């Protein structure tokens, strides 16, 4: 049986954010495709590994090393004389590199798959292993950083400015050095095809399990997302200040529920009809109990995993075009689209006034995801791609 070493820049268990959900789903998809899968991961200050929180999804405790990835001015200065952007150098650890080498020597995998550009600094060592090397991309990192520069400050902004300068060139070089690229969204496939025409690339979206639950009709709304990710924080602030405060003047029976990692307990505490749940243990339970999903995201790239999770339970979604980018969803068929204050208010009123529309949207999204994002639909495609690359 073909063996795969799956390397991640942070633990995907527990599933604390969309990135963790995406990596966990891919790990399981590799198993469903018939591979024997081993796992190695960095353990960071933001996402530490707690072996006692691993579930029976994982047969072996992953090879892991604790690293500090927070930006430091000394590291930033040293990076000025390096070809590797500082944002990526923060994820490099000689101890982790040695741990990977030992893992390869012990389990002798045929294939190594790294999750995200953060792990690209390990490619020179991995190439010596003789394994086939694949990169799984969650977004085009240079685009993501370029978009977020205006929202950053201090050393983080300085770090990002210096990183973006060389990141695109470095990223394009990496795309040409691996044996294949597994892209979460079609946008990444298009970009890779342009800058690395000789590198095989395939679109394999994040798989979402089929669920039996269906969202009951509700006048309430919710947002679920990590508030230490700037696009979420900016989007929610805009929505509450520009949309919600106007909406509740005429729709006073509705409540907005907020949840997510790093959601401060006093945030929006003075706003009427807003309930702050903080970080919740079970995102699915939270979503199915609190009505309509609101996704006011105006920047950033990658796939909004929470939209997929909500859709798997038949929860209707109101979102910006940016929020659904790469998902292949059709406005007014799978979700309701809004970009401005007036559009959000109009779509919110449409949904709470029509239980049939509420049910119809939720079911259409659920059926679309079952057809296009299930493990059964994607495992053969993944297996065929890896075999041919």
DSSP states along 82-108: -SS-HHHHTT--HHHHHHHHHHHHHH-
Q: Which tokens in the block code for residue 218? A: 């509700």
Q: What is the pLDDT of residues 304-317, one digit of tens each?
A: 888 999 999 999 99
Q: What is the pLDDT of residues 18-38, one digit of tens each?
A: 888 899 999 999 999 999 999
pLDDT at position 295: 97
Domains of the chain in start order, with CATH, are 3-206+375-388 (3.40.50.2000), 221-372 (3.40.50.2000)
* Band of residue 159 on the pLDDT scale cut at 50, 70, 90: low
Alpha carbons 173 and 242: distance in angstroms, whole number: 42
Q: Which of 14, 57, 71, 61 is nearest to 41 (CA)?
A: 61
- For 15, 26, 280, 290, 339, the CA distances from 301, given in Å and listed in that order, are 20, 19, 24, 26, 17
* Band of residue 143 on the pLDDT scale cut at 50, 70, 90: low
pLDDT at position 294: 98
- Letter string b/e over residues 206-234, b meaning 16 or more CB atoms within 10 A of that residue's CB: bbbeebeeebeebebbbbbbbbebbbbbb
Please, which residues have CB within 8 angstroms of residue 304's CB and are 6 or more apart in sequence?
18, 295, 297, 319, 323, 324, 327
- The answer to whether residue 111 scores a pLDDT higher than 60 is yes
Q: Is 356 exposed, middle or buried (0-12, 13-18, 19+ CB in 10 A)?
A: exposed
Q: What is the pLDDT of residues 198-252, one digit of tens each?
A: 999 999 999 988 788 788 999 999 999 988 888 889 999 999 999 999 999 999 9
Q: Which of 70, 92, 71, 86 is nearest to 162 (CA)?
A: 86
Percent of the chain predicted with pLDDT > 90: 64
- Dihedral angle over CA of 280, 284, 289, 292, nearest 10: 100
Q: Which tokens in the block code for residue 197? A: 């025409």
pLDDT at position 73: 56
* Band of residue 107 on the pLDDT scale cut at 50, 70, 90: very high
Alpha carbons 95 and 31: distance in angstroms, whole number: 28
SS3 assignment, position 53: helix
SS3 assignment, position 295: strand
Alpha carbons 87 and 377: distance in angstroms, whole number: 35
Q: Which of 89, 40, 204, 69 is nearest to 136 (CA)?
A: 204
List residues bridging with 182 in a β-sheet. 136, 202
User: What integer best gives the mean pLDDT of the chain?
Assistant: 89
- The answer to whether residue 297 scores a pLDDT higher than 80 is yes
Q: Which of 77-86, 240-249, 371-380 has the lowest mean pLDDT?
A: 77-86
- Output 228 or 119, whichever has higher pLDDT: 119
pLDDT at position 59: 78
pLDDT at position 58: 84
Q: Which tokens in the block code for residue 221? A: 């709304």
Q: What is the pLDDT of residues 328-346, one digit of tens each?
A: 999 999 999 999 999 999 9
pTM of the full predicted structure?
A: 0.83
- The answer to whether residue 385 scores a pLDDT higher than 80 is yes
Alpha carbons 236 and 264: distance in angstroms, whole number: 13
Q: Which of 33-37, 107-111, 141-145, 220-224 has the lowest mean pLDDT?
A: 141-145
Q: What is the pLDDT of residues 243-286, one digit of tens each?
A: 999 999 999 999 999 999 889 988 888 899 999 999 998 888 99
180-183 and 317-319 beta bridge pairing: unpaired
* Band of residue 156 on the pLDDT scale cut at 50, 70, 90: low
pLDDT at position 155: 58
């Amino acid at each position: 049986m073909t063996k795969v070493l799956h390397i991640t820049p942070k633990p995907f268990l527990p599933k604390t954010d969309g990135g963790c959900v995406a990596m966990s789903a891919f790990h399981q998809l590799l198993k469903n495709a018939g591979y024997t899968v081993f796992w190695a991961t960095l353990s960071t200050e933001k996402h530490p590994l707690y072996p006692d929180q691993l579930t029976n999804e994982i047969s072996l405790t992953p090879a892991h090393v604790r690293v500090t990835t927070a930006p430091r001015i000394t590291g930033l200065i040293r990076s000025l004389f390096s070809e590797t952007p500082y944002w990526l150098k923060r994820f490099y650890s000689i101890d982790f590199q040695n741990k990977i080498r030992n893992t390869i020597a012990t389990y002798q995998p045929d294939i190594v798959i790294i999750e995200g550009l953060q792990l690209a600094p390990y490619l020179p060592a991995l190439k010596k292993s003789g394994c086939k090397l694949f990169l799984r991309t969650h977004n085009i990192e240079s685009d993501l950083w370029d978009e977020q520069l205006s929202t950053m400050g201090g050393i983080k902004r300085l770090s990002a400015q210096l990183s973006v300068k060389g990141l695109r060139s470095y990223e394009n070089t990496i795309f040409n050095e691996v044996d294949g690229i597994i892209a979460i969204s079609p946008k990444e496939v298009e970009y890779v095809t342009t800058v690395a025409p000789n590198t095989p690339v395939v679109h394999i979206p994040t798989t979402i399990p089929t669920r039996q639950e269906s969202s009951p009709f509700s006048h309430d709304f919710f947002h679920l997302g990590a508030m230490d990710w700037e696009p979420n924080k900016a989007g929610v602030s805009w929505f509450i200040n520009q949309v919600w405060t106007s909406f509740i003047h005429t729709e006073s029976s509705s409540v907005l529920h907020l949840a997510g990692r790093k959601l401060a307990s006093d945030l929006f505490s003075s706003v009427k009809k807003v309930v702050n749940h903080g970080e919740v243990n079970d995102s699915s339970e939270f979503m199915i109990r609190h009505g309509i999903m609101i996704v006011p995201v105006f920047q950033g790239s990658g796939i909004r995993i929470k939209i997929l999770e909500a859709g798997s339970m038949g929860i209707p979604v109101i979102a910006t075009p940016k929020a659904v980018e790469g998902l292949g969803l059709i406005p007014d068929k799978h979700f309701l689209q809004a970009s401005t204050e007036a559009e959000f208010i109009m779509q919110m009123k449409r949904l709470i006034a029509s239980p049939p529309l509420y049910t119809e949207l939720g079911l259409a999204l659920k059926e679309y995801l079952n057809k296009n994002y299930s493990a059964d639909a994607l495992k053969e495609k993944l297996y065929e791609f890896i075999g041919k690359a």
